[in-house]
Amino acid sequence: MSFYLPKGAVRPPRVERGKGIHLYDERGNRYLDATSGAVVSNLGHSNPRVVAAMVEQAHRVTFAYPRFFESEHNVRLAGRLTELAGEGFDRAFFVSGGSEANEAALKLARQYAIACGEPARWKVIARDPSYHGSTMGAMAVTGDSFTESIYRPMFQPMPKIPAPLTYRLEPGVTAEEHVERCAQALEERILEEGPESVLAFILEPIGGLSTGALVSSPSYYRKIREICDRYSVLLIHDEIMSGAGRTGTFLSSQHWEGSRPDIVTLAKGLAAGYTPFGAVLAPNRIVETIGAQGGFVHGHTYFSNPFSCAVAAAVIDEVVDQGLIERAARMGQYLDQRLRNLQQESRLVGDVRGKGLLMAIELVADKETRRQLRPEMNAPARLTNYGLAHGIALYNRRANRGQFGDIQLIAPPLIITESEVDDLVERLRRALVDFERDLKQEGALG
Ligand SMILES: Cc1ncc(COP(=O)(O)O)c(C=O)c1O
């Protein structure tokens, strides 16, 4: 970790063990895992059924290269996921994380265009702000001017259109008008780039850190689907954070009619932190067209490895058998209500948004004007420290250097109970009270 931290930064507590929704450090301090780490631990920690499946698979076989051997759990997991994802998803490709999943999805789309006799298609339109991962291809479609300013010469940045953020609007523009314009921006950008050159449009249907769990209107999702169809542009949903049940449906697109993507990527909650894992789901139409021309020219050593597939299969079995997708919807409503009460109480909480158990609060200096705290305050990182002092772990990564708002995700494990939600919100409240007190002393709320 000292490799990663800026010089002089305080080292985080050293984790010793986890149980349910809590993590314990080596001194025995307990932390409520309010963000499931980086929105990963959907099942909480030390789930006995998953641990048993890990031990069993470790005794059977941990590695066999998928080009030489199929594995039972690879086949079973693919069947399970495509069934949960519903119509339009017939095939699954497994990788070791979110960035790898997006790389694979982009390459799958490109190879499909070539197989269809359309080699001119290569541009992938994405949104700004957005986050799709940290590898070169994923960064090319990520809307984050800060990371782009560092790595830009090393990759080909892709065209961006505005994400439909509605918390701060231009005077005289309604949220509906703005969202409508953001959807229309996709069509305008396709025409500007030349439709024959546009391969795909990628978005987080329910946002993560970059937009603060942004959810748009059903008409936005319908409209972008229609625009993609009009120009034969593939629609890719990055559900790395929002998928696998977190928002109350297995895929976010299952919330809205007429919004189905062509390709979807999953990771994080898919194996819930029990193994590094990710997946690309695609229809037969794409996979078979590529297969007929020699197969997908892409792969990693650990793709579809039997150990990870067995672990992810056990996670999905547990999520389904415990009814955690429905629970995410129910507990999400309760959390939403509790966070809105907190918003009334706290001077720092400007907005609450999200769906299911993927929620976010936006921190502001002034709720009336929606003015942000000064960037050098690095509000989310500071809130994390106040949180640790109150026994709550709050994951943070400041997207776009806070340019689009200071976001704190609230995304606990899907096993959370009502009383644990109360405990979470109370600890968050105390952290916010301390933060507000110190900000006042520093004259930052002015
Ligand atoms: C929406 C989204 N896409 C992609 C990624 C990248 O996933 P990973 O960090 O597993 O490579 C993340 C990670 O935070 C994410 O939230």
Question: Which pLDDT tens digit goes with each residue over 314-341?
Answer: 999 999 999 999 999 999 999 999 999 9
**Peptide bond between residue 276 and the one before it cis (omega within 30 degrees of 0):** no
Residue 399 pLDDT: 78
Neighbours of 67 (CB within 10 A): 8
Residues of the chain with pLDDT under 70: 1
Atom 10 of ligand 1: nearest residue by CA position:
98
The number of the ligand 1 atom at minimal distance from the alpha carbon of 135 is 11
Residues ≥6 apart with Cβ < 8 Å to 82: 89, 90, 91, 92, 281
Q: Which residue has the tokens 């999905």?
A: 316
Q: Exposure pattern of 323-342 as b/e (b: 16+ CB <10 Å)?
A: ebbebbbebbebbbebbeeb
Cα(99) to ligand 1 centroid in Å equals: 6
Cα of 53 vs centre of ligand 1, distance in Å, is 26
How far, in Å, from the CA of 43 to the mean position of ligand 1?
Answer: 18
Residues near 172 by Cβ (< 8 Å), separated by ≥ 6?
none
Closest CA to 260 of 285, 289, 293, 295: 285
CA of 261 to the centre of ligand 1 (A): 18
Give the model's pLDDT for residue 366. Answer: 95
Contact indicator for 399, 407 with CB cutoff of 8 Å: yes
Spatial separation of the C-alpha atoms in residues 415 and 11, rounded to whole Å: 29
Residue 44 CA to residue 374 CA, distance in Å, equals 35
Q: Ligand 1, from 35, 144, 202, 241: best to mutate by most atoms within 8 Å of Cβ?
A: 241
Residue 1: the pLDDT is: 63
Please tell me the residue having the least CA distance from ligand 1 atom 9: 98
**pLDDT tens digits for range 127-168:** 999 999 999 999 999 999 999 999 999 999 999 999 999 999
Task: Give distance in angstroms: CA of 133 to centre of ligand 1.
Answer: 5
Q: How far is ligand 1, taken at its centre, from the CA of residue 178, in Å?
A: 27
Residue by residue, DSSP assigns 81-131 as HHHHH-TT--EEEEESSHHHHHHHHHHHHHHHHHHTT-TT--EEEEEES--
Residues in the chain: 446
Residue 121 CA to residue 138 CA, distance in Å, equals: 18
Cβ of 97 less than 6 Å from ligand 1: yes
Query: Do residues 218 and 183 touch, judged by C-beta distance below 8 A?
Result: no
**Is residue 132 within 6 Å of ligand 1 at its C-beta?**
yes
97 Cα nearest atom in ligand 1: 10
Compute CA distances 263 → 26, 77, 188, 223, 238, whole Å.
42, 17, 23, 17, 9
